[in-house]
Amino acid sequence: MGFLDKFKKKAKDDEVVMDGWKAIEDACLKMYPGQVNPKHYGTMISWRLGGNDPLDGISIYDGEEYYHFVTFGLSELFEKENENKEYSGYGFELTVKLKKDGLEDEETSIGGMCGILQSLARLTYNEGEIFQPDEYIYTGQTTGMDPTGESLITGFITQLDKLGEIETPNGKVQFVELIGVTDAELKAVIDKKLRVKELFERLGSEYTDYKRENLF
């Protein structure tokens, strides 16, 4: 039983419309058949009610070697409200593939990544920041984003997730994948020593790996 089935309810004769949510779930089920009830981190108090977390939730699918995080909340999950008919909400959802190997405390690491995704979503909600493929996200921090702060991974580059772009009843949604990179690697991109695509090719993997060493 997925989130849609568990939380669908009726108000008098009307069903809560969750077409946007279901479209994301359906896309994920094509990649992960049978994972109808993935680990899910919901939001206790919604952004609309004054909560601190703009995402309605984050689902984590098991990719064997990695955990695949998929956000719910940067697109329109329920009824269509945005006047832009072409795109659903901000037009994208964020994803991350966090490599399992080397996660000393899986639950803490998963919770920490969910916190990072919520923080990025706040940039979109508060400042209108739109994340697209082939960009970089430089945080300026020198400590790792892992729970212990010991990893060299401090920021991200982006690419189009293999989930691709989908058409939903509320418009298009693009899945933008975040790939963890080091401070030195990000500075090489900022200094135009190489492009984002070139860095991704040199990495040779789309996984965010907290144990990975610098390329340089």
Neighbours of 2 (CB within 10 A): 19
CA distance 21 to 15: 14
Beta pairing class for 87-99 and 66-72:
antiparallel
The pLDDT tens digits for 47-82 are: 877 889 999 999 999 999 999 999 999 999 999 998
Q: Say yes or no to pLDDT of 110 above 80.
A: yes
Helix, strand or coil, per DSSP, at residue 120: helix
pLDDT of 6 reads 42
**Which of the residue ranges 20-24, 36-40, 78-82, 110-114 would you say has the lowest mean pLDDT?**
78-82
The pLDDT tens digits for 81-104 are: 989 999 999 999 999 999 999 798
Share of the chain above pLDDT 70, in %: 94
pLDDT of 13 reads 43
For residue 17 the two structure tokens come to: 């419309």
Has this prediction a pTM greater than 0.85?
A: yes
| Chain centroid, CA 196 distance in Å | 18
